[in-house]
Amino acid sequence: METQVVIIGGGPSGLLLGQLLHRAGVETLILERRSREHVLSRIRAGVLERGTVALLDEVGVGARCREEGIRHAGTLIGWGDESFRLSFREATGHAVTVYGQTEVTRDLYEARDAAGAPVLHGVDDVVIEGADTDAPSVSFRHEARPRRVRCAFVAGCDGFHGVSRRTIPEGRRTEHEKVYPFGWLGILSETPPVHDELIYSGSEKGFALCSMRSTGLSRYYVQCGAEEDPAAWSDDAFWDALRRRLPPEHAEALVTGPSVEKSVAPLRSFVCEPMRWGRLFLVGDAAHIVPPTGAKGLNLAASDVHYLSRALIDHFGGDDGAIDAYSNRALARVWKAVRFSWWFTSLLHRYPDQSAFDRRMQRAEFAFLKESASARAAMAENYVGLPL
């Protein structure tokens, strides 16, 4: 078996890369470990930068996102009893779109089906061979049979726990990591959102985020221990924790109901450098993780895909310049998003070893953001997405 690009991982990075390459006439095979149902049921990111929406448009799947996605031109930021609205539009002229990762993935799978391009689900034992040679291949098991595919390039879009990053010899990669001493407990509930924009709130009890998927579906998060079992949290305990962490007028307005999903995500910052080894490229969560506070994970995956798709298309057109520039180009944007996500996380979370001084610093940072137009502009510029 042979193809031009083997894409490992059928999450948002792999699917978007597959569509961009397919439309440029580059043949791809996507290998995904899980079933399609499993991939589509993972509730994760919810905020798309305009560059991400533009990429969805570019591959012809942007219509539903433009129709059903909710444009947000600002967000509420709270600290204890205080809150203020930060206008993205005032500072940058731009907005973001609230549209779930599940929907992005669904739209991309439908487009891949319509294009007749292959995705193999349930693949096991994926091994990347010869990535540092001119003739790489990928072997795996599918439907109990061993298979091997020769290709020109391998795109490692297989998330943080995938095989791609680990294929790069330890001496050829450097990993930078910061693990935060907390996680997020998230729930989905069929209740109207507490506010028409997102609320990011710091409090004595810890962080909370109010987001949404539609007028009847809310997505809420509270800071929790990194290893907590979501099943140990009753819905009442969740609502109680959320209420205590919101500015008072929003705590009062909160409409509660049964949760339809509940999960815990640990928080970390992680970057692997470089994002290339020979003919293997790392893309999205396979190369980097940010804490979700800045809503950057999925958007960074999309910007990697933007750079890599153009580089591969140029290569098949006879120009290798962008291939050689891919890792540096992607990392330059990644590190800025890592910084922003770290900064926003540090502003609003409660750290177990925090001193009274540390808390005062957070408070002063909040006050400065509230009062300074230039601080708000810097925040807005990062939140809506730095240029590609």
Question: Binding residue for ligand DHB (CB under 6 A) from 17, 47, 76, 152?
Answer: 47
Q: Does 45 bind ligand FAD (CB under 6 A)?
A: yes
Q: Compute the distance between CA of residue 197 and CA of residue 218 in angstroms, rounded to an integer.
A: 11
Among residues 178 and 359, whose Cβ is nearest to ligand FAD? Answer: 178
Assess whether 296 carries a catalytic annotation. yes
Nearest to 139 by CA among 170, 167, 109: 167
Among residues 90 and 335, whose Cβ is nearest to ligand FAD? Answer: 335
Peptide bond into 274 cis (omega under 30): yes
Contact 237, 200 (CB under 8 A): no
One-letter amino acid for residue 316 of the chain: F
Q: Compute the distance between CA of residue 268 and CA of residue 126 in angstroms, rounded to an integer.
A: 26
Assess whether 307 carries a catalytic annotation. no
Q: Does 158 bind ligand FAD (CB under 6 A)?
A: yes
Q: Compute the distance between CA of residue 287 and CA of residue 368 in angstroms, rounded to an integer.
A: 33
Assess whether 200 carries a catalytic annotation. yes
Q: Could you say which of 180, 292, 315, 349 is catalytic?
A: 292
Q: Could you say which of 200, 220, 221, 307 is catalytic?
A: 200
Q: Does 159 bind ligand FAD (CB under 6 A)?
A: yes
Which listed range, 42-50, 52-60, 167-175, 316-324, lies at the site for ligand DHB (CB under 6 A)? Answer: 42-50
Count of other CB atoms within 10 angstroms of residue 372: 12
Q: Compute the distance between CA of residue 210 and CA of residue 208 in angstroms, rounded to an integer.
A: 7
Question: Binding residue for ligand DHB (CB under 6 A) from 30, 151, 280, 295?
Answer: 295
Which listed range, 82-90, 151-159, 324-332, 362-370, lies at the site for ligand FAD (CB under 6 A)? Answer: 151-159
R_g of the chain computed on alpha carbons: 21
Instruction: Give the CA dihedral 160, 161, 164, 169, nearest 10 degrees.
Output: 100
Nearest to 155 by CA among 41, 12, 334, 298: 12
Minimum CB separation of residue 233 from ligand DHB in Å reads 17
Residue 159 near which of ligand DHB, ligand FAD, none (CB within 5-8 Å, type-dependent)? ligand FAD
Binding site for ligand FAD (CB under 6 A): 8-14, 31-34, 39, 44-45, 101, 123, 126, 157-159, 161-163, 265, 284-285, 292, 295-298, 301
Binding site for ligand DHB (CB under 6 A): 45-47, 198, 209, 211, 219, 292-293, 295
